[in-house]
Structure 1
Amino acid sequence: MSAPLHSALAGAGIISLRPYQEAVVSTVRDVLRYVRRPMIYLPTGGGKTRVATAITQLTLAKSAGRVIVLANRKQLVHQFAAALRTAGLDVGILQGDKTTGLHNRVIVASIDTVHARGCIFEDVALFIIDEAHGVAGSEKYRALLFRYNRVPVIGLSATPFARGLGKPYPEFGGKPLFEELVVGATVQGLVDDGYLTDLEIYCPSKPDMTGAKSVRTAEGEMDFRQADIDEAADKPELVGDIIRHWLKLAGGVKTIVFASSIAHSKHIVEQFRATGVTAEHLDCYMDDDTRAGILERFGRGEFTVLSNVALLSEGFDVPDTACMILARPTKSLTRFLQMVGRVLRPAPCKTHALLLDHSGSVERIGHPFDDLPLELCDGSPNKAGKQQREKPEPKPCPSCKFVKPAGIRKCPKCSFEPERQNDIEVIDGELERFDRKAKKPAAPDRKQHVYSQLLQVARNKGYSPGWVAHKYKAMFDVWPRNMRDVPATPTAELLNWLKSQQIAFSRVREKQQEGRSHV
């Protein structure tokens, strides 16, 4: 953390932050000098709310204006308000009949209420948008941001690759909806540092989605049509398999289920109860008090399994939930990561989390810890197509070397078909454990972010440009090309990596010196 930021944090009475969170706050402060609408990426459990709280405190300390926090769900509104109040802030709420304290300098608002009432905010110094990946597909959000196009906006998201987040608009003078992506940490980095828990994945039986049609989601991704999900997933043999595998692999641990439909969720709960396991169903048609009561009882451990469809994919925070059953097939990377993130928070006695994937989503999308497409999509066909993880490239036939399209096993030239190699380990003849595939190449935005951090380290230490290039090559195994000369505050992850490089280099030198001493 830089000295100026340290002084600002201490002087403003800012809440304590982890090192990478401090780096995010510092980077956002720098980025806001030349862009108006940055997006912060932090994985679920990485502390987006704490970062936003620190930014709010800094804003109030240096400005006479107000901070407006926007969310798209009632539950998120009240959770965010509670976090800000815990930090000692006076917070108002603008959400339906729960509206109160609108005279305060910090307001947490439901975008639906803001839009329905045509609210006009005065003296706004900053907008903060929670779950900001939904902004691009929301006319309500866009209308508000167009109206206040000169006010700084900070987006928060664990999945910032929705289609159109980087799309230019004339209302912004031709500039993008979000102009810069600030990468705070990676999932794997947070797991390595102990801020998130590790994950074991098992892939038992799955529904047959052959012939299922796809539709575009609100985030601009393609996903299975709901009617096809309902038909494929809610079958007696599949539900029975869900119960059987849970009893064998995770029996007794607190579990959240993502089902394909409300009927499917209720069916799963019935089957759990039939085996003597305490379970409850939750859906959006329940009133607020009923939903709150179920969540509170689950948090206290009064029952073991909580099943829903998609209600808990955002804003659900019960750290000791150690298992997730994914019974809803999806092709959407955003939905997949939001759901998996619910079980990655650490808790006492929680050594790892467990994912039982009865949907085939892991095979379709990849491991949740793999590199992500961390680049704001401008909505163009080429960019939109890149928002899914990289697809396999065409490969030559091992027999005749004919280059066949990706995904085709049998060579169309010589008919050679290689023996199938499975990355699923079969256990006890029926349970299948997913082994993570090799990491994919880093995304361009990730490479630029690392290069920018190395530039700042070099400037701080007085290192040469050659040092930057060699460290970049050590990380990515290629020399830097077409990189922008834009320094960025180094994250704790990068500094730890540099330290490990230095330690490794020192050990090599020690061995070399020992070798010379014996000559």
Structure 2
Amino acid sequence: MTEKESFTDLHLPRVIDTSSTDFINEFYIPLLSRADRYQRGVGYFTTNWVRSAARGIAELAHNGGTSQWIVSPKLQESDWDILERGDKAKRNEALKESLDQTISNLRYDLEYETRNAVAWMIADGLLDIKLAVPTRNLSGDFHDKFGIFYDSYGNRIAFHGSQNDSEQALRNYEAYTIDCDWVSDREEQAVDYQEKRFINLWRGSEEDIDIYSIPDASKADILELRDPDNRPYRAQQPTGSKSPKITLRDYQQEAVDAWFKNGYEGLFQMATGTGKTFTALAALDEYIEVIDGPLLTVIAVPQKHLARQWASEMDTFGLAQPKYIYGSANPEWKKDLSRIVTNIKLENTENACLITTHTTLADEYFRKKIDGLSQDSILIADEVHGLGSEYQRQGLREEYNARIGLSATPERYYDEEGTDFLVDYFGGVTFEYTLEDAIPEYLTPYEYYPVLVEMDDDELEEYRDMTKKVAAAYADDNADEEIKQVLQSKRASIVKGAARKYDSLRDILENIGNPKHLLVYTNPKQIETVGKILNEYSIVHHKFTYHEGDDLREELLERFGKGEWDALVAMKCLDEGVDVPETRIAILMSNSGNPMQFVQRRGRVLRNAEGKNHATIYDLIVVPTLNPGEEIIESERNILKKELGRFEEFAATAKNEHEARNKLEDIRIAYQL
């Protein structure tokens, strides 16, 4: 997805005037071409201005943007009485007569391209015009001149001044005062004020201003200006309706239907690579259609680099681009969140969408803004298992009256309380789609090769000593729990740092030759040595860790997909949600017994890609020794039994299941499992 330019890229002065600024080329066109919504209240409107700003208006249409204009009709004296009496038929006739000349100008004064564009925008609902007539305590014209621009990132610019939208005004000495809501609190308040004025006028809520829609007869005259054989911009899909090109797989539609039947709540327990994001957005797309009133959509992701991936999928559905609400992407996220929620509460906007991280979702400021929200809202939680911790689940507020949780493994490892909370909050698992269901139609078949790695003599001696200390600590009723955890962690570090893993890595690289699209999962202690070994084999690679920024990681994934990088060496950043479908081979140098981690890592390898018919996984399994003494057997039996659960799951759906299981039999026999 090509990212749209933001208003913040522009450097607009506080005040502009026609003496020093080309209003069309230096103000209107740059803003309209970046905008996805434009509101304008203006006293005198002529087609000359439309022609002058045609390029910007065309860009607005191409962006799928919408525009609302409030203008003053040119009325005869006799028309005022008709409007005041409220006779609808005569009122429409009077308004139509006032518009006839303007429509004639549209027909004869505008160039073909601009005339066609304006007519099509009105036909498609991208441009709506209302007429303002002062009444009661006011007896003149609607003579205001102000406007508000909105971009797809939630930024707003308001302007107010003396210039009308007419050719003569462009020749006059005129000026605008400009307010940008991200610059300061004062300018944000000024934008709020202009926005509120426009909304009140548009709704007809101003006491001394009557607002009229364009009569149907006048609109029909405008629509006749269209060229039916030449739509000047691509047809836009209405918000809340899927593109004709989007076809859900049967199981994805089944998941959406199950969610609706469950009262707009549910967990989608779907194997990694089967389209959880796509399914959730399809549910959102259908949900928008049944909501009457404003809707706040909150999408929470575990890692910030997943936000752009979600935004890209939203673009596929034709959904409005979200606002990023977390610190590294948006230092002003608190201000933006406040404005978004306030607009929803005041019903100043139909729909708003934001993407945040799990951590920010649970932030106190974020929670307080959501609390008390009575309008419809939906929470979509990606990799929902991450929200089950005591801190993170604070972000799961009751105000979200529609909820979708996504995960291949919603159960939390050794956290029954957190798991139960998630299942209860999201209304249970409403749909499940396993790896076995997905292979081979939707996921790539794979071969699984467990590689047994024994400790060297020094590591084994250290491991035995540490095992005795762990056993002694657990036998002592007075031992501090923290000490037990520290001792266990030290023993686990011996396993993770086993030196013979590097010999096994070299053996694997010798076996696979010149790898393309290789992922190597490591831990912080291994990553530098792994990089040196890949260099030995002339494998072009790059680290993929939290140290690399969002932009670099996105570039790395793109270049990896194209084959410009042979390999990526990753830690946890590729565990959740990142799409790397081109991956053919994975080497798991470092793993944990946590099912969430190894299921996610396997999922990175199994996504379908053009020309990819199978994948290969090498899994390095460290054991103290294949000839254990009795003391090792006793201490390791339960640990290895849990670890074998992971190996069994990997082997069960592998093409070479029996070969993989036979490899593990050596461990079973040695440790009497």
TM-score computed with the length of structure 2 as normaliser = 0.48
The within-5 A match list for 1:223-262 is 227-249=490-512, 251-259=514-522, 261-262=523-524
Matched with 2:432 is 184
Deviation at 1:27, TM superposition (A): 0.8
Aligned with 2:500: secondary structure?
A: helix
Relative to structure 1, the CA distance from residue 11 to residue 329 in structure 2 (aligned partners, 3 Å threshold; closer, same or farther) is closer
Q: Which moved more, 1:282-291 or 1:155-164?
A: 282-291
Query: Compared with structure 1, are the counterparts of its residues 287 and 273 closer, same or farther at alpha carbon in structure 2 (3 Å cutoff)?
Result: same
Letter in 1 for 2:408: A
Taking a change above 3 Å as real, the CA distance of residues 344 and 231 of structure 1, as seen in their structure-2 partners, is: same
Q: Give the deviation of 1:288 after TM superposition.
A: 3.3
Q: Is the 8 A contact 2:584 2:614 kept in 1?
A: yes
Deviation, structure 1 residue 165: 4.7
% same residue: 23
Deviation at 1:25, TM superposition (A): 0.6
Residue in structure 2 matched with residue 284 of structure 1 by the alignment:
546
Offset, 1:127: 0.9
Summarize the alignment of residues 347-362 of structure 1 with structure 2, pairs less than 5 Å apart.
347-359=609-621
* Aligned-pair CA distance for 1:251: 3.7
Distance of aligned partners of 1:234 and 1:24 in 2 relative to their CA distance in 1, 3 Å threshold: same
- Counterparts in 2 of 1:19 and 1:277: CA distance versus 1, 3 Å: same
Contact kept, 8 Å, 1:127 with 1:153, in 2: the verdict is yes
Q: Say whether 1:157 aligns with 2:407.
A: yes
Superposed, which structure 2 residues align to 1:185-200 within 5 Å? 185-192=433-440, 194-200=441-447
4+ residue runs over 6 A deviation: 209-214
Where does 1:122-133 land on structure 2 (aligned, <5 Å)?
122=373, 123-133=375-385
Deviation, 1:10, is 13
Q: Is the 8 A contact 2:520 2:568 kept in 1?
A: yes
Give the whole-Å Cα distance in 2 for the aligned partners of 1:343 and 1:206: 23
Cα distance change on mapping 1:50 and 1:292 into 2, 3 Å: closer
Query: In the alignment, which residue of structure 1 is the partner of 2:395?
Result: 144
Superposition map of 1:341-380 within 5 A: 341-359=603-621, 363-368=644-649
Are the aligned partners of 1:326 and 1:357 in contact in 2 as well (CA < 8 Å)? yes
Q: Alpha carbons of 1:86 and 1:225: their partners in 2 closer, same or farther (altered >3 Å)?
A: farther
Kept after mapping to 2: 8 A contact 1:207/1:358? no
Describe the shift of the 1:44–1:113 C-alpha distance in structure 2 as closer, same or farther (beyond 3 A). Answer: same
Q: Could you tell me how far 1:273 is from its partner in structure 2?
A: 0.6
Question: 2:309 maps to which residue?
Answer: 79
Instruction: Give the superposition deviation at 1:276.
Output: 1.4
Letter in 2 for 1:136: G
- Give the superposition deviation at 1:155: 0.5
What is the CA–CA distance in structure 1 between the aligned matches of 2:612 and 2:421, rounded to whole Å? 44
SS at match of 2:451: coil
Per-residue CA deviations over 1:53-72 (Å, capped at 9, x if unaligned) read 11111121111222211112
Q: 1:371 to 1:168 in 2, by over 3 A?
A: farther
Of the three residues 90, 112, 122, the one matched with 2:359 is 112
**Is 1:263 the counterpart of 2:525 in the alignment?**
yes
Q: Is the 8 A contact 1:42 1:185 kept in 2?
A: yes
In structure 2, give the amino acid aligned to 1:91.
Answer: Q
1:332–1:111 distance in 2 versus 1, CA, 3 Å: closer
- The aligned amino acid for 1:160 is P
1:268 corresponds to which letter in structure 2? V
Task: Count residues in correspondence.
Answer: 355
Partners of 1:19 and 1:59 in 2: CA distance: 18
The 3 A distance-change label for structure 1 pair 334 and 364 is: same
Whichever residue aligns with residue 178 of structure 1, its letter is F
1:167-204 Cα deviation digits (max 9, x unpaired): 359xxxxx923331123321011104x10011101122
Q: Distance in 2 between the 1:133 and 1:368 partners? A: 19
Contact 1:197/1:352 (<8 A) preserved: yes
d(CA) in 1 for partners of 2:363, 2:300: 14
Q: Find the residue that maps to 1:358 and give its secondary structure.
A: strand
Q: Secondary structure at the match of 1:91?
A: coil
Please give the residue correspondences for 1:303-342 in structure 2 after superposition, counting only pairs within 5 Å: 303-342=565-604
1:435-474 → structure 2 map (5 Å cutoff): none
**Rg (Cα) greater in structure:** 2
Given candidates 405, 420, 431, the residue that maps to 1:167 is 420
Q: Go from structure 1 to structure 2 and tell me whether the alpha carbon gap of 1:151 and 1:249 turns closer, same or farther (over 3 Å shift).
A: same
Q: Secondary structure of 2:572's match?
A: coil
Counterpart of 1:154 in structure 2: which amino acid? I
Asked if the contact 2:648–2:661 (Cα under 8 Å) also holds between the matched residues in 1, the reply is no
Structure 1 residue 86: Cα displacement: 2.3
Counterpart CA distance in 1 for 2:545 and 2:328 is 21
Letter aligned with residue 239 of structure 1 = Y
Distance 1:250 1:197, change over 3 A: farther
Counting only pairs closer than 5 Å after superposition, residues 13-24 of structure 1 correspond to structure 2 as 13=242, 15-24=246-255
CA distance in 2, matches of 1:17, 1:90: 20
Structure-2 residue corresponding to 1:272: 534
User: Structure 2 vs 1, CA of residues 348 and 29 (structure 1 numbering), >3 Å: closer, same or farther?
Assistant: same
Distance 1:241-1:167 versus aligned 2 partners, 3 A rule: closer
For residue 98 of structure 1, give the secondary structure of its aligned residue in structure 2. Answer: coil
- Unpaired runs of 5+ in structure 1? 1-8, 170-174, 215-221, 373-421, 427-431, 438-519
For 2:255, the aligned partner's letter is: V
Report the CA distance between 1:125 and its aligned residue: 2.5
- CA gap of 1:433–1:28, structure 2 versus 1, over 3 A, is same
- Show CA shifts across 1:312-351 (max 9, x none): 1012211110111111142111111111111000112212
Paired residue type of 2:241 = A
Give the whole-Å Cα distance in 2 for the aligned partners of 1:132 and 1:356: 28
Aligned CA-pair RMSD? 3.5
Provide the rounded CA distance (Å) in 1 between the counterparts of 2:665 and 2:321. Answer: 45
AA paired with 2:356? A
Superposed displacement of residue 227, structure 1: 4.4
Structure 2 residue runs without a partner (length 5+): 1-237, 341-350, 456-462, 472-484, 623-639, 669-673
Deviation at 1:371, TM superposition (A): 8.3
Distance in 2 (CA, whole Å) between partners of 1:323 and 1:157 is 23
Inter-partner Cα distance in structure 2 for 1:330 and 1:86: 36
2:320 corresponds to which residue? 90
How many Å separate the matches in 1 of 2:613 and 2:664? 18
Does the 8 Å CA contact 1:91/1:108 hold for their aligned counterparts?
A: no
- Structure with higher RCO (Cα < 8 A, 6+ apart): 1
